[in-house]
Chain A
Amino acid sequence: MGTLIDILLDTNTWFLTIALAMPIAMAAVGAHISSKAGVINIGLEGIMVIGAFFGVLFNGFFLSKGLPNSLNLLITFSMVIGVGVLCGLFIGIFNLKFGADIGLTGIMFNLIASGLTVYLLYLFTGDRSISSSYPSIAFPTVNIPFIQHIPILGDIISGHNLLVYIGFAIILGLTFLLNKTVLGLRIRAVGESPDAVTSVGLNGTKLKLFAISMSGAFVAIGGMSLSMGLNTMFAKDMSSGRGFIGLTANTLGGTPIGAMFVSMIFGFADALATKLQILSNIPREFLEMLPYALTLIALFAYSFSKMTKESQIKDRNYDGG
């Protein structure tokens, strides 16, 4: 018990919570925008692995060509976003143009992504599961002026990897896009009623493709934050379920900002597991289960309460005649 209190009082736990929540939050906003447009994107997991891989591949390539780090990261960042957009388009086109079931497309995309990244890793570096012989760099950490000197707060929210702050910006930007712009309104409309969108002369398929390619871009950034933030290398299947946890975070959160807070809870479970692994003798396997178990319980509890609420509303309607 004492250990737990120590961990909760340690600012580093909360710092880790934010760092570990960001990839999940990126998956969650990716899930959010595509589900707003009416496409349930299960391929998040695969896009995340691909983002993580290409981040390392590109920046390592530019590193070997002697590009300055800042330029290297800028180009890598843009190129990985491009790859994410292509992944999103790939899934979208198979679903919307070729009539493939979105669930199966997503599952197969994840399998292909897992195999493809290992194949390409071997092709380009000769490594078989971890990019250990291939030097790569990470995004720099950022110290926020003024805030970094505030005692506890500064330790928690300052000094993160640049991608964490980009992630926050994306979440705010997406909220604005969806709620305050015409494009956002159209994206929401195509998810609610594709026929209504067609009836006013808009191309619903194009809107959906746009949404899912943005989803791909967000999740690819989340992938980069794994291989160029939390770690400085690529490992086989390194997303380890974060795409699906993000999917749940979106369901539970409802809005991008809500999804971010739910991601924080999952990030906290992750941080707690990391800390407990060092400080306690609880078997590692149980700690590794923690984020998944929490996701499962949260999903069931949320669906159960939603169902109860709905049936109450139904009952009331019957009572009123």
Chain B
Amino acid sequence: MSDKLKVEIVRTLVAIGLSFLLLVVLITLVSDNPLNAIIQLFVGPISTIRGIGNVLEEWIPLVFTGLAVSLIFSSKQFNLASEGAFYIGGVLAMIFALTLVVPTFIFWPLLLITTGFTGAIIVGTPGYMKNKTGASEVVSSLMIISILMALGTYILKYYFKDPAAMALASLPYPKEYKLATVIPGTQVHTGIFLAIIAVIVIHILFNHTRTGFKMRIAGGNKNFARAVGINTGFMSLLAQIIGGCLAGIGGAVYQLGMYNYFVSAELGYGWDGVIVATLARDNPKYVPAAALFLAYLRAGSKIMARRTDVPPQVIAIVQGVIILLIVAKKLLAKYEYNLLLKKVDSDKKGARE
């Protein structure tokens, strides 16, 4: 194991450990029975088949947005539009499911291509404008998210609303367009295979192809990339477009896998994608593990919120703190330095012998 990897692992574990201490404090303050809440949070997801199902249900969308944000962030752009692409992916799935009457083998390819393309445009726009004019991609992507949220609500309310439903919800989806359940007794759907395929494809693309290599260099060392003739602007845009594509597809898969009709709600998987990507150090290779960790936490927090008096927001706080501690590079500087010293010493010894 290289020293660099070792430092990153220790850094992640320290961050998670400290954040869990904070979590215990937060739960103890707010709960009448903190021990039960903590047990529900950590043991809830593995105590029943349904709990394990909850983890996997969360894992699927997190893999898609985690991969998306990893690609986007690896180009060193803080483009956050994947949240909007994921949301619109769900809206498009609703539109397709409620308007199209075609066999499923035509329906799904059509839906995946459309949502992928739309996601690419949504995420590509801030990226393109940043490249072209220098307009802050953070601001433009956030404005785009707000606009798309309103647009989605408008489409739902004026064209697909179920008049019989109490809350704002769409008409029910036709059964044949829903993704089939894989594990009985849970909601884990065939989208899980799509997520696995996405991981493999993106991992190979990013880590084992010429294009992926160029992307990594363009994001990592811009001047070097330019000097060896890589079109850095194009490469960073390409990474963002592929990311948007994944986020859009993820939204559609999640929608037709988990819901029987569309409800207008803030899902936040695009934001969680930021957390997954940072945990995975923007490398698609580590996204499945990072997504599993976060899926476990999210499933646990939902079980906890259902069965105890602790609000699920404690997890939002803890997630944020974990990431802050991980990106705080200088916090473990001393440990890193000592490792380096040790290595120098052993190298010296090796040279002497």
Interface residues of A (CB under 8 A from B): 42, 94, 97-101, 103-105, 107-109, 111-112, 114-116, 118-119, 122-123, 128, 240-241, 244-245, 247-248, 251, 283, 285-286, 288-289, 292-293, 295-296, 299-300, 302-304, 306-307
Given A244-B139, A296-B143, residue A114 in contact with residue B323 (CB < 8 A)? no
What residues on B are CB-neighbors of A109 within 8 Å? 320, 324
B110 at the A/B interface (Cβ < 8 Å)? no
Question: Which residues of B in the span 229-261 have a Cβ within 8 Å of any Cβ on A?
Answer: none
Q: Does the CB pair A104–B143 fall under 8 Å?
A: no
Q: Does the CB pair B136–A101 fall under 8 Å?
A: no
Give the CA-CA distance A145 to B142 in the complex, in Å: 42
Given A248-B139, A289-B150, residue A115 in contact with residue B328 (CB < 8 A)? no
Given A104-B278, A283-B154, residue A295 in contact with residue B317 (CB < 8 A)? no
What residues on A are CB-neighbors of B147 within 8 Å? 289, 292-293, 296
Q: Does the CB pair A241–B143 fall under 8 Å?
A: yes
Q: Does the CB pair A306–B151 fall under 8 Å?
A: no
Find the B residue at minimum CB distance from A302.
Answer: B135
B140 at the A/B interface (Cβ < 8 Å)? yes
Give the CA-CA distance A303 to B140 in the complex, in Å: 11
Q: Does the CB pair B144–A296 fall under 8 Å?
A: yes
What residues on A are CB-neighbors of B204 within 8 Å? none
Given A299-B140, A307-B134, residue A101 in contact with residue B154 (CB < 8 A)? no
Instruction: Tell me, rounded to whole Å, the shortest Cβ–Cβ distance linking A194 to chain B.
Output: 17
What residues on A are CB-neighbors of B139 within 8 Å? 244, 247-248, 251, 295, 299
Mark each residue of chain B from 306 to 331: 1 if its CB lies under 8 Å from any CB of chain A, else 0.
Answer: 00000101111101110110011111
Given A285-B157, A288-B150, A292-B143, residue A299 in contact with residue B135 (CB < 8 A)? yes
Give the CA-CA distance A104 to B324 in the complex, in Å: 8
Contact with B329, one of A100, A103, A118 (Cβ below 8 angstroms)? A100
B146 at the A/B interface (Cβ < 8 Å)? yes
Instruction: Tell me, rounded to whole Å, the shortest Cβ–Cβ distance linking B281 to chain A.
Output: 12
Contact with A300, one of B80, B135, B316, B319 (Cβ below 8 angstroms)? B135
Interface residues of B (CB under 8 A from A): 26, 29-30, 78, 80, 129, 132-136, 138-140, 142-144, 146-147, 150-151, 153-154, 157-158, 271, 274, 278, 311, 313-317, 319-321, 323-324, 327-331, 333
What residues on A are CB-neighbors of B151 within 8 Å? 285, 289
Q: Does the CB pair A123–B29 fall under 8 Å?
A: yes
Instruction: Tell me, rounded to whole Å, the shortest Cβ–Cβ distance linking B296 to chain A.
Output: 18
Q: Does the CB pair B314–A241 fall under 8 Å?
A: no
What residues on A are CB-neighbors of B330 within 8 Å? 97-99
Q: Does the CB pair A300–B129 fall under 8 Å?
A: yes
Give the CA-CA distance A241 to B148 in the complex, in Å: 14
Q: Does the CB pair A115–B142 fall under 8 Å?
A: no
Q: Does the CB pair A104–B138 fall under 8 Å?
A: no
What residues on A are CB-neighbors of B271 within 8 Å? 111
**8 nearest CB pairs, A to B:** A115-B316, A98-B328, A112-B320, A303-B135, A285-B154, A303-B133, A99-B330, A99-B329
What residues on A are CB-neighbors of B331 within 8 Å? 98-99
Give the CA-CA distance A245 to B143 in the complex, in Å: 8
Q: Does the CB pair B142–A244 fall under 8 Å?
A: yes
Instruction: Tell me, rounded to whole Å, the shortest Cβ–Cβ distance linking B154 to chain A.
Output: 4
Q: Does the CB pair B274–A107 fall under 8 Å?
A: yes
What residues on A are CB-neighbors of B319 within 8 Å? 111
New contact pairs (18) apart from A108-B320, A112-B324, CB-CB < 8 Å: A42-B138, A103-B138, A104-B78, A104-B278, A105-B327, A108-B323, A111-B319, A115-B313, A119-B314, A122-B311, A244-B138, A244-B142, A293-B147, A296-B140, A296-B144, A299-B135, A300-B129, A304-B133
